[in-house]
Amino acid sequence: PISPVDEIWMDGEFVPWNEAQIHVLTPTLHYGWGVFEGIRAYETEEGAAVFMHRAHMERLHRSAKILQMDVPFSVDDLMQAARELIRRSRLLSCYIRPLVYLGYGEMGLNPMPSNVRVAIAIWPWGTYLGDEGLQHGVDAKVSSWVRIGANMIPTGTKACGVYINSSLAKVEALQAGYDEAILLNEHGEVAEGSGENVFIVRDGALLTPPLAAGVLKGLTREAVIEFAGDLGIPFAETRLLRQDLYTADEAFYTGTAAEVVPIRSVDGREIGAPGLITKRVQDTFFDTVAGREPRYRHMLDVVGAG
């Protein structure tokens, strides 16, 4: 459940939380034609700081471009709006959800990309897969749902409709008693979690599926790849099969909501307690977002006094 914050930013205005409503015939609600982002702000010594802020807003713009939606606000406008929203809320850490959708007007399957609306909501959101999972690892299930192909709906976008695929996998995993899903693509290769990228460690090297496997270019994934380089951990993008998950020395998820979460088993095959490489990457991540890693200061956008 979301603990309400006072306001939601809608098309340039700060609207009271309970009044942030849209018409039931908003096309995006019917057909999923919209794009969104998931961003986190963390508490640092300098106050709230948004992790990879510009990169997230840029990805939002790219997602919109793929769906031929003209976002009526620039990346800088959106960053400004999110910062202002955080300042006004006085939250020190929060989740940030920008949404680009089609406003009320015309119905039908030919969306009206001219009637584009933007909202940004923020709310306090604790660890997505639980504190216990963050510390000891989560149990993953390879989904019976196949990750949607890039020529079905562009998987490089955070398009609203794509998330039916993710939700089906997440619900199936939870109903079967697991914490999270891992989806394979149409070729049977490992793609990603329902809202996370997947990494494994094999023989001391960090491996993750290439973008061509149909995965989202996760920004946490990008950060982790940068950390690995600096930590001297060998890294490669490589196609992975289901059996590679079962025999991995270590495995973890990365994502804005999930952060860096160890995977302790896949389909009941034990991987074990979080390993050394997972821990080093995880520590670097949490030090970075808390502003304790001067080297990665460029990944943070301090909200400041405005």
Q: How far is the CB of 256 from ligand PMP (least distance, A)?
A: 3
Whose CA is closest to 155, among 192, 190, 188? 192
Structure tokens at 189: 């290769």
Task: CB nearer to ligand PMP: give 7 or 284.
Answer: 284
Residue 289 in contact with residue 268, Cβ under 8 Å? Answer: no
Q: How far is the CB of 207 from ligand PMP (least distance, A)?
A: 16
Which spans of this chain sit near ligand PMP (rule: CB under 6 A)? 38, 158, 166, 192, 195-197, 216, 218-221, 254-256
**Which residue of the set 65, 141, 158, 279 is catalytic?**
158
Residue 250 in contact with residue 198, Cβ under 8 Å? Answer: no
As a whole number of angstroms, the distance between CA 16 and CA 277 comes to 45
What residues contact 261, with CB distance under 8 A and at least 6 apart? 129, 133, 134, 137, 138, 180, 196, 252, 253, 254
As a whole number of angstroms, the distance between CA 182 and CA 144 comes to 9
Q: How far is the CB of 153 from ligand PMP (least distance, A)?
A: 12
Q: How far is the CB of 287 from ligand PMP (least distance, A)?
A: 17
Structure tokens at 219: 């920004």
Task: CB nearer to ligand PMP: give 220 or 284.
Answer: 220
Residue 158 in contact with residue 220, Cβ under 8 Å? Answer: no
As a whole number of angstroms, the distance between CA 169 and CA 49 comes to 32
Task: CB nearer to ligand PMP: give 164 or 276.
Answer: 164
Closest residue (Cβ) to ligand PMP?
218
Task: CB nearer to ligand PMP: give 149 or 272.
Answer: 149
Task: Please indicate whether residue 158 is annotated as part of the active site.
Answer: yes
Please list the active-site residues: 158
